[in-house]
Amino acid sequence: MAQGLVKAPGRATTGPMPGPDSLTVNGFGGNLEVNPCTGCNFDEVSGGYYVWGTNNCEAPGTTQWIGVPFISKRTGTTRQLTAGIEIDPACVSTGTAVTLSIYSNDCTTGPGVSIGAGVARVSTGPCIAARARAAVSLLAGTRYWVVATTNASPAQDNLSAIWYGSNQAQIGGNVAQGGWFFFSGFVPSFSVD
């Protein structure tokens, strides 16, 4: 695991997502795409990475924050950040919020510094993405990061959530002509609009 990141399991089942999550916008960048087999625009089945506040119910005392890079498709100001983050179904999380940010790029560390953020409500799902309003000025062709962090507020410090992978990160494999199967590259799912 890269630098000790803890991977989270997938959900046993997934259901059709309600209303607006079925849209795939990705105006500035993103990888949300509805899977016609599940009806979900991110991959709950294969898993993802934990997003933890300090008082999470999986590994109390440990935080885990996740970021994923993108290159802005256009110049302008964002309205919303969307991420396939849901409450971890394996434990009782009393946290219900996460900070979604856009960070500058740092060629040494990946995410540089936050250039804009918003707070998103995190649901129990299934297939209900976290959304935060965030007005951030971006330049076309520039690399940025969408980052999920927590702070000391009880709604975030007590968070135990999973940032599920993108449907676009699914990989097909066939070993020794034994038949096709798919697995995930676990790239976190997101959209910047």
Predicted confidence (pLDDT) per residue in 139-193, tens digit: 999 999 999 999 999 999 999 999 999 998 888 888 887 887 767 778 999 999 9
- For the chain, domain boundaries: 2-192
Q: Going by C-beta distance under 8 Å and a sequence separation of 6 or more, which residues neighbour residue 175?
A: none
pLDDT digit string (tens) for 78-91? 999 999 999 999 99
In this prediction, residue 3 carries a pLDDT of 57
Q: What is the average per-residue pLDDT within 25-31? A: 85
- pTM, two decimals, is 0.88
Quick check: bond before 111 cis, omega within 30? Answer: no
DSSP letter string, the chain: -GGGPPEEPPPS---PPPGGGG----SSEE-----TTT--SSEEEEEEEEEE-TT-SSSTT--B-EEEEEE-SS-EE--EEEE-EEE-TTS-----EEEEEEEEEETTTEEEEEEEEEEEE----SS--EEEE---EE-TT-EEEEEEE--SSHHHHT-EEEEEEPGGGEEEE-STTS--EEEE--PBPEEE-
